[in-house]
Structure 1
């Protein structure tokens, strides 16, 4: 099992690091990475086909969130460069036509387990509120005192001929800047979005991005991991 920690110096270099995990998995070596990406808005393939994509990308850029295009996932997500975590788990896939559901279930359970380990009273539920960012089937939400759901994690998957990647985002703190840029982006894409649906893990130790990162990493590695090679990418983002 290869475990990558840290963040490369630029958005482009950092994306290459994550792309390399798929190659490692195709060669038979599972890999895990949990880190804090640079501030950016990552658009999905569906976004790029919309008429308002150019305006949405320019809006994000003007507010200090460089727009990038990603291969995994559906709609746009935003990273603030400090408290928004991303995770990737890559593994060999003997048959690309099978195992998708099992990988989703296994990774979702690991994320939920990690969050519950940090705050026993944290009410984490499957699914997401209406009109949330990057809506998808495999999401986790927290339930507030008023019973309202707020999305804190979303997962997506990419499968090639001989490897698979499950990737996702976890919101540790919900800054107004994230809601503002997402609201403007989705408005220009003409996609429904409710800013109040943006949640965060803010209870107990779960309010510390470094603590959450370690918990997620441990859960994604799982039991029985033996040869863990830690590749230091760089101090930025540790």
Structure 2
């Protein structure tokens, strides 16, 4: 595959469809082979198959990562530049400036450091797990802050809006890595074939999408919302259709 030559965009019916079909075909072949002894329990058998599909997905995407990710970065270049401008402008803001609840203002460096290494991961599963770990570290930092605070903060709980406010802070402080966050989210959404929409990973991905969409809304009026809930610039629309 040659991302620079634009060959990935000409794959028919789409790169995602072809890769997903290959992943399913290989998984089915292995599942039906004599390599595995299947449990008589239907639920165990189904879980076994899903695990096998996840292994095949990660193997395939690890092999193809460099070309696919470079292609996606090229698709999202205009968005990345716009988002980078917003993030750079927000570098001097404090938690107070960003409207973060005073009760939850704490040291989020562990979460920031985790998000900053998302570029080191190659598979969609690894990347979404990095986002989940970022959120977990963020929540842990707030909980520790509440527990050690000299003020009486018993009974105080994080709301969904509070989590999003803190997530925005982490994204801002993770710049310049976070300028490419839409590319990472698109990579996960398109090529993580094992459905995680109803899991905690799906919830994590949705929170990051909301945060990125909010930041993008500050960047440019040339932003459209896709049917998948992802923000993209007008220039990205045509390219995304063939992904």
TM-score (norm 1): 0.27
TM-score (norm 2): 0.27
Larger Rg: 2
> Higher strand proportion, which one?
1
